Amino acid sequence: MCGIVGLLDRSGGTGNTDVLQAMSAAIIHRGPDDEGYFMDGPVSLGFRRLAIIDLSLGHQPLANEEETVWIVFNGEIYNYQVLRDMLRGYGHIFKTDSDTEVIVHLYEQFGEDCVKHLRGMFAFAIWDAKKEQLFLARDLFGIKPLYYTVAENTFAFASEIKGLMPVPGVTREIDRESFWHYLTFQYVPEPRTMFADISKLPPAHYMIVKDKQMIRKRYYQLQFDPVERPIEYYIKGTAERLRESVRAHMVSDVPRGAFLSSGVDSSAIVALLRELEDVQTFTVGFEGAGGQSEIAYAKETARLLKTQHHDTIISAKTYLDALPNLVYHQDEPVADPSAIALHFVAELASPHVTVVLSGEGADEIFGGYTIYREPLSLHMFDFLPPSMRKALGDVAQMFPAGMKGRSFLMRGSKPVEERFFGNAYLYNEKEKRAFVRQAKSLSSLDVTKPFYDQVANTDDVTKMQYVDLHTWLPGDILMKADKMTMKNSLELRVPFLDKEVFEFAAQIPARYRLMQGTTKYVLREAVRDILPKEVAERKKLGFPVPTRTWLRNEHYTFVHDLIASSQLDDLFDKDYVLTMLEEHRQGVRDHARKIWAIVIFLLWHQIYVEQSRVFVSQETPFIAMRRKKMFAETLV
């Protein structure tokens, strides 16, 4: 895993070595093992390396034989050996055993269509000297990030936003529309970022930058396409493809391990790894989580699966002390408490392994979230005329807040497009208008409607999964997974988010995904034979962080002072937020998630906009030691 940066001067000028090196230094944590640079006329490419495959020859930027095609690449290609054999058949000659060089020759052979052959996670940039164009691409699911901006007639890209900050002309202006949507989704939906002038290349897209033009194009469409077959076919096929995916994701020349939670997803990954080798597993729990802690469940799973297990408990103070620095590493505000939690499990794993496998993506593609069962419970409303459904909602609105049945009637009165915005739904439009200084009329429907339109003729469960797959998954789940593991110079791999696994899972009818009162039924049945019964049937906890309790106690003073001292009166009414905090502290209402969104945003604003909290990307002591050891070994 690595970090990439680059510049393309579109005014006819040449690159700036100082700027390029500053961009690279800002993301040193992504690649402490090596660095490299290439400059030729208007283009400058920079690279930070975390060595995983071909430790001695995988240096970047890397070129073809004629040095007319240059690449910087972040990711892993799991079918690179098959592709290399195919390309040799076309006459291509290889000088390394790296997956990076495979992409170079694949581009030579197929041009922009090279991305359609790749199985893996990636973000890369290719400079084609003959065409004088920059070609950038991102993987199907958005596992690896890629940001870009245009400042003072220079196109710049980087694996992280902090890598763009040294570019002259890059502003720190807030995108107010992004702030509006952040308050609903708890992250900024792509391709926007919280910065007005910085964008993110969406998953399954490539971009061509040439002269004054930037052309962005989708090269693959993630979509569900159910096919009626016996359920046994899907259970057997899921087991086969998941087993093969785990095997493919093991390709590396460095130690591997796995994150282990209480759920079936990570447990299945660990069980499949154990079929092939001894496994080290890692879990963290949180002080005050009580019966919701992952620790006890994970320990029991590790004992049953016979892994070498590591775990630790994170206190409220430890969490709060680390929070500002971790918000810096997130690049953008993400109001998911488990985003911070991921840092601690990555920090725990980093001294032991360089690659970890994890269970992200299983819920989105196999139908694992409890909320996906909602259409089944609301099915009775489908038989009512729209006018009657609306009338029921209007009546329920008049009931006292908290009255039994009120929420059920209100949700049942709306079609799925108006009630489901993804797994996180913090502030609704009315609540935001009560305290946000927003001149422009905006709606969260602006984000989700295009996706609902694309699956208008499917069932409600599929619609919900499709929306999550294109918003929640890249914007929250994968963003925090990448940023928090790379902060610890650790490569995270996600076998569920594999092209082969997805294309099979996408055929499973919705009724097979949700059966017998449970979620992701096919997946549970597919891994039943490799997991102990108590693990296979265990309910998902979802990496619980006791933010609700901490905001009433250990974190209260810090949060109160942070909000009260805010200078963002032009953006929102802080008295409104302070009132929510007091209601939460006194137990009047549970505002934990809504307050946390403001806390994360304020810290992000202090770091990136006000610059009143200053952090510098740097290696941890362990990573520095590992880099020195690797360097010494190369001299032997």
Catalytic residues: 2
Give the C-alpha separation, 242 to 496, whole Å: 7
Q: How many C-beta neighbours within 10 Å does residue 280 have? A: 20
Is 259 within 8 Å of 156 (Cβ atoms)?
no
What single letter denotes the amino acid at residue 377? S
Token look-up 């961009």 returns 23
E strand or H helix at 123, and its extent? strand 120-128
| Contact residues for 616 (Cβ-Cβ < 8 A; gap 6+) | none
The H or E element that residue 242 is part of is: helix 231-248
* 466-471 contacts at long range (C-beta below 8 A, 24 or more positions apart): 466/223, 466/224, 467/420, 467/421, 467/422, 468/364, 468/369, 468/422, 468/423, 469/222, 469/364, 469/365, 470/203, 470/222, 471/185, 471/189, 471/190, 471/422, 471/447
Burial (CB count <10 Å: 0-12, 13-18, 19+), residue 31: buried
**Number of C-beta neighbours around residue 437 at 10 A:** 12
Residue 415 DSSP one-character state: -
How many other C-beta atoms are found inside a 10 Å radius of the C-beta of residue 230? 9
b/e code 490-507 from CB counts within 10 Å (16+ = b): bbbbbbbbbbbbbebbbb
Among 298, 342, 367, 320, CA closest to 507: 367
Order of strands, sheet of 34-40, starting from the edge strand that comes earlier in the sequence? 34-40, 43-49, 2-9, 154-158, 147-151, 198-200
Sign of the dihedral through C-alpha 381, 382, 386, 388: negative
For residue 200 the two structure tokens come to 């993110």
Integer Cα distance of 70 and 104 in angstroms: 7
Helices (H) and strands (E) in the chain, counts: 28, 17
- Give the largest CA-CA distance in the chain: 79
Element (DSSP H or E) covering residue 4: strand 2-9
Which has the closest alpha carbon to 194: 76, 332, 299, 377? 332
Measured CA distances, 618 to 47, 111, 124, 627 (Å): 16, 37, 23, 13
Which among 92, 138, 361 has a CA at the least distance from the CA of 249?
361
The C-alpha angle 549, 481, 326, rounded to 5 degrees, equals 55
Which single residue is written with the structure tokens 């439009």? 429
User: What is the token pair recorded at 147?
Assistant: 């940001």
Region class of 204: left (phi > 0), else alpha (psi between -120 and 50), else beta: left
What phi, psi does 420 have (nearest 5°)? -115, 120
Question: How many CA atoms does the CB half-sphere of 496 hold within 13 Å?
Answer: 26
